[in-house]
Chains A and B, each alone.
Chain A
Amino acid sequence: MMTVLLLAEHTNDALNPATGKALSAARKLGGDIHVLVAGHNCRTAAEAAAQLSGVAKVLVADAPQLAHGLAEETAALIVPLMASYDTLVAPATASGKNVCPRVAAALDVMQISDITNVVSADTFERPIYAGNAIQIVQSPEAKRVVTVRTSAFPSAAEDGSASIEETTPPPAVGLSSFEKAELTTSDRPELASARIVVSGGRGLQSSENFKKFLEPVADRLGAALGASRAAVDAGFVPNDMQVGQTGKVVAPELYLAVGISGAIQHLAGMKDSKVIVAINKDGEAPIFQVADYGLVADLFQALPELEAELKKAGH
């Protein structure tokens, strides 16, 4: 029977929701699923993984060199483990994208990146050309390495009780070391998994305007904040807010695009949202071609009005 190794995304003391979504993809492959939690002092994350529905076993590899998810160390751990597995699955997060191709190269197999559907255990759907074409690709290879676009899969239930087993990591490779992290802290929901996303573009004109005009609307809606590449490049907001082909791909119930023209690279990151709202002063902006509701207006008037309307409506 086929067995799948799922690489968990976590912060040692918490499991990232991306893991549960990648698990939903892995379950469509059929076969037993073991979750690998590679980290340091990562028991809490392992316990959370054991509760995910459909997991047969959780493997914990705990070592100082695994604390920060270094690709060299994580791949060195996974490659020998793959002798017992047919498929490696990981969420297509920054860390999954970093580690998996290194593993695939060591196994001498082609990775299937960023799948949006599982057709069968060896056949997958994935977007190419910024989502302007969809490829169905089959892997006849003995082993497979697959990364999962998490916005395309539901979260897994948390009613499982898998056993947790320790696995001994190999000695540290020592080619790389972690120096520092500058992570954005926010009380808002995580962009990748938020129910509502409010995004701003170049039209916001400054970092101050993001705070003054966009954030109050996001606060009313309990929404995550996103941005176009133009807004990130201009330094209005940090890189982790970028939605698009090469940034984060989101598919919330409501995506509110404000002052975003809608370049194909941006659309690639949000066009699978359930409802899209665009507010832009340029009625010809391409964003209106994908928006369910479009409002041609000056955002500096529309946003305060929107905040007031939401307040009136009890948000």
Chain B
Amino acid sequence: MKILVPVKRVVDYNVKIRVRPGGSGIDLANVKMSMNPFDEIAVEEAVRIKEKGGASEIIAVSIGPAKAQETIRTALAIGADRGIHIETPDGALVEPLAVAKLLKSVVDAEKPDLVILGKQAIDDDCNQTGQMLAGLLGWPQGTFASKVVLDEGSVHVTREVDGGLETLKLKMPAVVTTDLRLNEPRYPSLPNIMKAKKKPLETKKPDDFGVDITPRLKVQNITEPATRKAGVRVDSVAELVEKLKTEAGVL
């Protein structure tokens, strides 16, 4: 069984981003970039499935600029077997719909049984790609997964939903998107980082798949949110309750 794991290079989750003045975007110069944390969980899950004998090959795919290859190498260091990089121009915005179409082309060519990817990228916060890919493929989807159990020709996915958890049974092939509690990704060991450098990595262009990545939406403006001013410190619980009653009027 083959597993495809799409991974995205994003601003590291610890970075406090800066909005460029004039509404033109986010300042990405010299900002630390990392694999989207949800995608790391996806790679880890695929590797665990393979380690338990549930998969024979893991392919990591990333759509992005030349440096997205670093993200693929990280996936290879965690345990993916080979990589596919679909290179897009530096600074190009590729929307989830275009990403889903490119991934569909990769799926058509590679014929994996399972696609595991993050539920959301922490830059655009869209939470769309996995669902769109499943829709385009006509495959079932198990989104926001906190547990994935393989079965004969199917996969049981426990999902984090608003009221708690729910478990679905999906016919394979299927798309699974990861939530935070699915696993805790390992840190790649130095020998594995070295080994990852020798694993095969193929480079493609969106044109190779005949997919137009021109954005559909027009971003008119990006601004900083209204900042909240720090308030006051209180010295005691009694003072807090008093202020909430008389000053804030919320009690």
A105 touches B132 (CB 8 A): yes
Chain A hits for B250, CB < 8 A: 196, 253-254, 274-275
For residue B251, CB closer than 8 A to chain A, the reply is yes
Minimum CB distance partner of B123 in chain A: A129
B interface majority secondary structure: mixed
Q: How far is the CB of B177 from chain A (nearest CB, A)?
A: 9
**Contact of B141 (CB < 8 Å), options: A98, A132, A135:** A98
- Tell yes or no: A25 within 8 A of B by CB: no
Which stretch in A154-162, A176-184, A204-212 binds the other chain? A176-184
Q: Say which one of B47-55, B58-66, B220-228 lies at the interface with A.
A: B220-228
Q: Is A44 an interface residue (CB 8 A)?
A: no
Q: Are B146 and A135 in contact (CB under 8 A)?
A: no
Tell me the count of chain A residues lying within 8 A, CB to CB, of chain B: 90
15 more A-B contacts (CB under 8 A) besides A246-B119, A265-B13?
A71-B131, A71-B134, A72-B141, A100-B131, A101-B130, A104-B132, A109-B216, A111-B97, A111-B126, A113-B126, A128-B125, A140-B218, A179-B156, A248-B162, A313-B245
Number of interface residues of B (CB under 8 A): 82
Instruction: Indicate with 1 or 0, residue by residue over A230-268, a CB within 8 angstroms of chain B CB atoms.
Output: 001100001110000110100001100000000011000
> In this assembly, does A2 line the interface, its C-beta being within 8 Å of a C-beta of chain B?
no
Contacts of A174 in B (CB 8 A): 171
Contacts of B21 in A (CB 8 A): none
Chain A nearest CB: distance from B38 CB in Å? 8
B127 within 8 A of A: yes
Q: Which residues of A contact B (CB under 8 A)?
A: 68, 70-72, 75, 93-95, 97-106, 108-114, 123, 127-141, 174-184, 192, 196, 221, 229, 232-233, 238-240, 245-246, 248, 253-254, 264-265, 271, 274-277, 288-297, 302, 305-306, 309-310, 313, 315
A97's closest neighbor in chain B, by CB?
B127
Complex: how many Å from CA A149 to CA B126? 12
Assess the A182–B231 pair: CB atoms within 8 A.
Answer: no
